[in-house]
Structure 1
Amino acid sequence: MSKVLVVGGAGYIGAHMVKQLSRAGHSVVVLDNLTTGFRELARYGELVVGDLADLNLLERLFNEHSFAGVMHFAAASLVGESMQQPGKYYRNNVANTLNLLDVMVRHDVKSFIFSSTAATFGEPIYTPIDEAHPQQPINPYGASKLMVERMLKDYAAAHGLNSVCLRYFNACGADPEGELGECHDPETHLIPLVLQAASGKRDAITVFGRDYPTEDGTCVRDYIHIEDLCSAHALALSALLGGEKQGALAYNLGNGTGFSVQEVIAVVQNVVAEDSCTLQIDEGQRRPGDPAVLVANAALAKQELGWQPKYTDLETIVRHAWHWEKSRG
C-alpha cells in the first residue's frame, strides 16, 4: 500500500484518520507540532514533531520518504479566536499550507486531501447546504480555509496537483474501539461539553438561546461521526491515487439530518443516566453569529465517492463519545 503524510495526525480528526489508514495497510508518517495535538494519540504512525512553517524540515521529510499522498488536518480552528487573532489564522492556515503545497510540487507528489469546513459558506441562504451554495465566510477562520480551496484550484491548473477538499459540519463521536476520542483545550464542541458536565468535569452546560425558529427553539446542527468522516477521506484518497479523480474537487460531509441542542442534551441525559450521572443545565442568551440551522447536503460525496455513513444515529454517536469520556477519568 501507499505511504501517506498526515499533517496534524496527533489531533482529534487526524489521529482517527491515521488509525484507519494504518488498518487499511498504508504506511503513515505523522507531522504535528503538538500545540493542540497529543503525542499519545499518534500511536498508529511514525510521529515527527514539527511545523509546516519549517521549510527545511519539510524538505527533509519529502527527501526521506516517497509519499504517494498528503492529508492536511493542521489548521487553527476556533472561530472566536480567529476574530481576535486573524494573523494567526492566515499565517498558519494559509501561508503554512502554501509551504506544504510548494514542497509537494517540488517533489512531484500529486494527491492532496484538505480538511475544510462549512464555515466557508458563512450565513446559510438555504439548508441543507450543498456544494453550489455561495461561499461567503464571515470570520477569518472560514476565510482562511476558502483561500486554500482557491489555491488548490490554481495549483491543479498550474502544476497538476490533484486535491479533494472535504467541508465538515460538526465532527463528533469517538473511536468505536475506545482507543481515541475528542480532547480539546479549550473544548468548544457541544457533545463533549455536555458529557463533561455529566462527568463532573464542568459544573453545567449552558443553552445559548431557546427562541430560534426551530421546532424546540434551540439551534440545529449536523453531527457527523468521526469514523464516517474519516471513511470519506479514505475514499477520496483512493480516488486520487487510483486516478479516478483529478483537478481540485470539493465535497460537503454531514449526516444530512439536523439535531437540536435540546435533542443532544436529551440523548446525553438518557445515556449517562445508566451510570447514575445527572446534568445541570443553565440558560444563556443567544450568541452573535449563531445561525438557527446548519445542515449539510452530502449527496455529492455519496454519489461520486461511494461514501455511506455507518453511524448516523445520535445515540450511537453519544455512546461512543461517553465511553471515551469515562476512560479519561
Structure 2
Amino acid sequence: MASTLHNDRFLRACLQQNVDQVPVWLMRQAGRYLPEYRATRARAGDFLTLCTTPELACEVTLQPIDRFPLDAAILFSDILTIPYVMGLGLSFQEGEGPVFAKPLRSAADIARLSQPDPENELRFVMDAVRLIRRELDGRVPLIGFAGSPWTLACYMIEGRGSRDFIHIKSLLYSDPATLHHLLAHLAISVTAYLNAQIAAGAQAVMLFDTWGGSLSTPAYAAFSLAYMTRIIAGLRREADGRRVPVIIFTKGGGNWLEAMADSGADVIGLDWSTELHVARQRLGQKVALQGNMDPIALYGSSEGVRQEALRVLESHGAGTGHIFNLGHGITPQTPIENVATLVDTVHGWNPARQSI
C-alpha cells in the first residue's frame, strides 16, 4: 500500500496546503455517462453484482481516471452496502432506484438488526479497495465513502427514496428514542466500515448525507449532524504516513455550515445553492470547501461549461482549500466532451492564485 503518490494535490487541498492547480474530481464520476461503464455494467448483469464483485468495482473505479486527468478516484460502491448486508432485501428497480423488501417499521425490526463485520459481510468492499489501490499504483489518491446514519435510516425505514419521508419523520416526532437507537447502531456500523476502508487503503473518506436537507434545523443537529460528528471522532486519521481527510456533504445543508464545520471534518461539500465565496466568508479557513457547480450546467455548450466552471472558481477565489466538484452527482446523459472541458478549465485556472 505504500506506493509513491504521484499526484497528491487533492489531499493537500483537503488540508488547506499549497497546490499547483485546483484539484478536481466529480461525484459519480464512474457512471452511466461513460460508454465503458455501460459495457461493464452489462457484463455484470445487474447493479448489485457490479458493486459486490471487487474486480468489476475496480474496473469501473479506474475508468474515469483512465479517461480524464482527475485528481482523485472514488471507490465504486453504493451508500446502501451496510443495510444490504443487514438482510433487508435490497434490490435496484429499473427507473425506480433502491427498494427494500423488508423496511424497518417497528422498534422490534430495529432491535433485530445485526452489526456487520467489515472484513466478513462487507469484505467485497475491502477487497475492492485493496485491488483499486494496487491498480492505481500511486496515480491519484483513493476516496472511500459511506452514507450518513440519517440517510441510511431514511432508505431503511421508507423502503425506497421519498419526497416527504413520512415514515421516518413520523418516528422522529412520535418515538425519537427508537430512532436515536437506530441511528446510534448505524453510527457504529459506519465508523467500523470507514475505518476498515482506511485500513484497506482509502486515503480520504466522505460521508454522504443525501437527505439531511429534509430536516428542520433542530432535527438536523440532533438526528443527522450529531451522528456524523460521532463517526468522525471515531475514525482512524492517519494512514501511509499522512492525515486521512474527512469530507461531509449534506445536500441542502447551506443553512448549517458553521455547525458542520464544528463536526471535526476537514472538508465541507457544498451543493450549488450556496455560493463558495459566501461559505468562505462564513467559515474563514476553518475547513476546506468542495464543490459546487450545478451538474446540469454540463449539458450546455462547451463555452457555457467553461464559463460556469470559471464562475465557480472565481467565487472561491485565491487561496488554498478548494476542491472543485459538482454540487451533486454527474447525470447519465452528460456529454463526455463537456467533462473533458470542465477538467481542463479547472486545471488551467491561474494556478499561481492557489499559493499563499
Q: TM-score, normalised by structure 1?
A: 0.37
Q: Which has the higher contact order (CA 8 A, sep 6+)?
A: 2
Normalized per residue, the structure richer in strand is 1
Normalized per residue, the structure richer in helix is 2
